[in-house]
Amino acid sequence: MKTLIAANWKMHGNLSWLQKPADFRRLFPAKNTNIDILLCPPAHMLQAMVRACDGQDIAIGAQNCHDQIKGAFTGELSADMIAETGAKYVIIGHSERRAIFGDNDAWVAAKTSAAQKACLKPIVCVGESREEREAGKAEEVVGTQLAGSIPANADGENLVIAYEPVWAIGTGLTPTIEDIATIHDHIRGCLTIRFGNKIASKIQILYGGSVKPENAIEILALKDVAGALIGGAGLEMQSLAAIASEV
Ligand code: 13P
């Protein structure tokens, strides 16, 4: 399975950041390896970023989409609109969207289907809060989110899952390596029960939450971790390249 190193820029960056793909390739020149590199910039630079990545073997993704094709949804972008920019991926159900913008499991599932119909690869995010982990409910919460957020048509390659414990995002805290392994194993188990081993074994499961060059080697070495969804450390190409070098 290929490793996906994905940077979620959230609401950071401006058009001067169009330079970053070239900067990344200066630091990490190896192309067409078993590592896929993905940058998810704010929507206003999607199309220009796709152009800036021409020949760089770097994919571009959006950070959200709407579940409808078109309509009176002020401020929203449909999956087709995102696909039209040349982007290939879209992050769906990030914990910030779930917490701030009301994305729930049903909506995440609808957005995921919309993304698939538009030939985008959705990266569906799940993860427990601090209270849920402390109450020993991390596996239960993640299992419920998966069941509600993943549409029935998974074929192994038409979506990616990102496990992002909410309390690890932007805090510098990470679960222990054993805890990451346990949840990823649990996710694989849930997918196997629902879709069967042939499909479940092909689904990439990323880890996200305070990934940085110092901890990437240990996390990415885990059997069921097929990459990372990176926030803060993905804003600087130096640290993103350092993480990619650990694969
Ligand atoms: P940090 O890497 O800054 O913790 O953010 C993770 C994240 O939310 C990626 O989607």
* End-to-end CA, the chain: 12
CA angle 53, 14, 44 (to 5 degrees): 70
**pLDDT tens digits, 54-77:** 999 999 999 999 999 999 999 999
Q: Tell me what the pLDDT averaged over the chain comes to.
A: 97
Give the mean pLDDT of 226-241. Answer: 98
The number of CA neighbours under 13 Å toward the Cβ of 228 is 32
Residue pair 92/108 in contact (Cβ under 8 Å)? The answer is: yes
- The pLDDT value recorded for residue 65 is 98
Per-residue tokens: 69:
């094709």
Of the residues 132, 139, 164, 246, only one is catalytic, namely 164
Mutate to test the pocket of ligand 1, among 12, 40, 169, 215 (most ligand atoms within 8 A of CB): 169
Beta-carbon count within 10 A of 14 CB:
10
Q: Which amino acid is at 180?
A: I
Question: Considering the entire predicted model, what is its pTM?
Answer: 0.98
Superfamily of domain 3-246: Aldolase class I (3.20.20.70)
Q: Does the pLDDT of residue 32 top 80, yes or no?
A: no
* Rounded-to-integer distance, Cα 116 and Cα 104, Å: 18
Q: Which sequence spans correspond to the domains of the chain?
A: 3-246
Distance 236 CA to ligand 1 centre (A): 13
Residue pair 28/5 in contact (Cβ under 8 Å)? The answer is: no
Ligand 1: atom nearest CA of 172 is 4
In which residue are the tokens 């990439």 written? 204
Mutate to test the pocket of ligand 1, among 180, 211, 212 (most ligand atoms within 8 A of CB): 211
Q: Does the pLDDT of residue 126 top 90, yes or no?
A: yes
The neighbouring-strand residues paired with 92 are: 124
3-state helix, strand, coil in the chain (%, to 5): 45, 15, 40
In which residue are the tokens 């073997």 written? 57
* Rounded-to-integer distance, Cα 193 and Cα 231, Å: 31
Instruction: Identify the residues whose C-beta falls under 6 Å from ligand 1.
Output: 8, 94, 164, 169-170, 208-211, 229-233
Instruction: Detail the DSSP E strand segments found in 134-181.
Output: 160-163
Determine whether 164 is an active site residue.
yes
Per-residue tokens: 220:
């990415």
Residue pair 1/202 in contact (Cβ under 8 Å)? The answer is: yes
- The pLDDT value recorded for residue 9 is 98
**pLDDT tens digits, 168-201:** 999 999 999 999 999 999 999 999 999 999 999 9
The neighbouring-strand residues paired with 126 are: 163
Mutate to test the pocket of ligand 1, among 210, 215, 220, 230 (most ligand atoms within 8 A of CB): 230
- The pLDDT value recorded for residue 33 is 84
Ligand 1: atom nearest CA of 233 is 2
Residue pair 21/13 in contact (Cβ under 8 Å)? The answer is: no
